[in-house]
Amino acid sequence: MIKNELIFPMALYVLFMWISTVYMFRTRVKSVKSGEIPLSFFRAHVGNPGPERVIAVGRHYDNQFQVPLLFFITCALHMQVARANWLTLTLAWLFVASRGVHSWILLGRNNVRKRVAVFAFGWLVILALWIQLVYFSIG
């Protein structure tokens, strides 16, 4: 059985979220300093949000608090029931990898078709983790 090993993909993803936060902050500061966005925009986020790059980076940051929360909850529950195995750990790493690829696509050339495919793959991984968790719970 694998239990505590799930902490490693979770920890890497937390680091990834922290790096995303720093990247978003730096992107916004640069846009304010260059005059692309007035500082007042960030009081209530009302008005013109600025260039597409700033919007994309901001949405990327926001996305880290949506589907990935299911990842953290699922991993924590797997650790709690102490029935995780190599498949659980593999799925956890696959999810982290899918989010990395998704971010690379989004923050790179932003090919929507590729991005959607990778996003869907990440969702399927989460679904597989939940199916496994339910199976463990009733089995």
Q: 14-33: per-residue pLDDT in tens?
A: 999 999 999 999 999 999 99
Place of tokens 């009733």: 138
Nearest by Cα to 95 from 132, 120, 61: 120
pTM beyond 0.75: the answer is yes
* CA dist., res. 127 & res. 139, Å (int): 18
Q: Decide which of 45 and 7 is more confident.
A: 7
**Which pair of tokens denotes residue 96?**
């982290």
Band of pLDDT at residue 95, cut at 50, 70 and 90: very high
Whether 73 has a pLDDT exceeding 90, the answer reads yes
Confidence check: pLDDT of 3 > 70: no
Q: Give, in words, the CATH class of 4-138.
A: mainly alpha
Two tokens at 135? Answer: 């199976």
Task: Please check whether residue 50 is in contact with residue 41, taking contact to mean a CB–CB distance below 8 angstroms.
Answer: yes
Residue with tokens 């790493």: 93
Does 139 score more than 80 pLDDT? no
Q: How far is CA 54 from CA 25, 59, 60, 88, 90, in A?
A: 10, 9, 10, 36, 34
Compute the average pLDDT of residues 59-63: 90
Indicate the average pLDDT of the chain: 92
In this prediction, residue 77 has a pLDDT band, given cuts at 50, 70 and 90, of: very high
User: What's the confidence (pLDDT) of residue 106?
Assistant: 93
